[in-house]
Amino acid sequence: MEHFKARFEHVVNLIYDTLENRAGWRAVLEGIHEAVGGRAVHLLAFDARHGALSYSDGADMAPQIDLEYIQKYQFIDPRVELMRTKWTEDWLHCHEHFDEAFVAGDPFYQEFLIPHGARYLTACKLVENGEATVLMACLRRPGEGPMPPEAQAFLDSLRPHLQRAARMGVAQFVYSAQALVGHALVDKLRQPVMLLTTSGDVVLANEAARSLLGSTSLVQVADKRLVLPLAYHRAFLDQCAELEHQVRTDTGVDTDKPFRSLHMSSGPGEAPDVLYGFFTMLVPERTMGSFGLRPLVMLFFYHPSSAQEIDSDLLAAAFGLSHAECRIASLLADGLPLKSIADTLGVQYDTVRKQLMSIYQKTATNRQPELVRLLMNLPASAVQRALKADGNIPKGCAS
């Protein structure tokens, strides 16, 4: 108990510092995480007017995890309905609603949450009014169990201060085109990523993308517009326009094949160079408005000179593998049997088998040796298969 008493006043002071500094919430969350431990502490807000995810920050969070949740797993999260309708003033403890039998068979827990090292959720609403809903959640690992009573008492003593500061500073949590959650996540990614309008205007290029501009002539930015070699530029924009047409006519983007591929190489007489691109459409209605209120194209770049032995970012971009599927593929390449992989990830054996079947389907392989050969020959094999699988790639874009 002394452990929590020593931290209480410090965290309370940090809470009220946020009234003058929106960025101060990160220190609050880190202070709470240091006190209660666990996997992570997360603060998020939804703008009531726009229905958009308007704020997201945390302690020990990872941008790739947040992006994966926004793009895919939000739709199957069984906790969402509880947070929306079944709890208002008290704390929500997910284990009181979802027992181990449920967790063992639920794809959200087995494919996303547990592979990311989390299982137990303790959360509360700090604000819920006509402007915004603000939530704070503490996540704990499978082996840690639910929030201990002394840690829960500490959180409960902080709650009135958290709620008061969030209500007084609610303007920090409403939608702002200058502080978009998705943009902040992309900025933190190590892989080169650009956000573009479908006409090629560059909305955002993260630090890795800006660094890439100096190391290859195959992609440049001029007057805030993306510039590709002529042999590829028009084909890329045509595909972006096609994706936008699908969104506007409500014919839908193929969720089974979320990324399209682009393979560029230098022309005759130029220094040999090659660059791969993988792009997808970000639709506000499917990304909680976290990238803004208009459709954007998210374009990943992959330069072979930066290749790792097994590059999970390339696996995700080329084949649409989830983070959990990338980990399984990498562990298979390291020689681990499926039972050991299930034990390593802390998930059910049947979950790993199901995900392996998904990996086979996405990579157009049929057996483990074939999959491992593919993995060990990245990036060329991955890109070639991705290009062949995408019948919408014009001939000028394929190798």
pLDDT digits (tens, 9 = 90+) for 76-93: 999 998 888 766 668 999
Rounded Cα–Cα distance for residues 222 and 236 (Å): 17
Residue owning tokens 């947040």: 66
Amino acid, res. 386: A
User: 121-142 pLDDT, tens per residue?
Assistant: 999 999 999 999 999 999 999 9
> CATH 3.30.450.80 region(s) of the chain?
2-173
Q: Is the pLDDT of residue 395 over 50?
A: no
> What pLDDT digit, counting tens, does each position of 290-316 carry?
999 999 999 999 877 655 556 676 777
Q: What's residue 209's pLDDT?
A: 93
Q: List, by residue range, all CATH 3.30.450.20 domains of the chain.
A: 181-392
- Going by pLDDT thresholds of 50, 70 and 90, the confidence category of residue 26 is very high
**What pLDDT shows up at residue 88?**
63
Fold annotation for 2-173: Beta-Lactamase (3.30.450)
> 């020593």: which residue's tokens?
6
Q: Give 2's contacts (C-beta < 8 A, 6+ positions apart).
A: none
Task: Name all contacts of 343-346 with Cβ < 8 Å and 24+ positions apart.
Answer: 345/114, 345/115, 346/114, 346/115, 346/142, 346/143
Task: For residue 226, give the nearest of 192, 182, 180 by alpha carbon.
Answer: 192
The secondary structure of residue 132, as a DSSP letter, is E
User: 181-392 falls under which CATH superfamily?
Assistant: PAS domain (3.30.450.20)
pLDDT for 217-263, tens place per residue? 899 999 999 999 998 999 999 999 998 888 777 665 555 566 888 88
User: Contact at 8 Å (CB) between 32 and 137?
Assistant: no
- Please state, as a whole number, how many other Cβ atoms lie within 10 Å of the Cβ of residue 250: 6
**Whole-number Cα distances in Å, 128 to 22, 139, 145, 150, 384:** 19, 21, 29, 27, 49
Is-contact 307 375, C-beta < 8 A? no
Q: Average the pLDDT over 207-223 and give the result.
A: 92
Tokens describing residue 272: 């040999």
User: Is 70 exceeded by the pLDDT of residue 390?
Assistant: no
Q: Which helix (H) or strand (E) holds 31?
A: helix 25-36
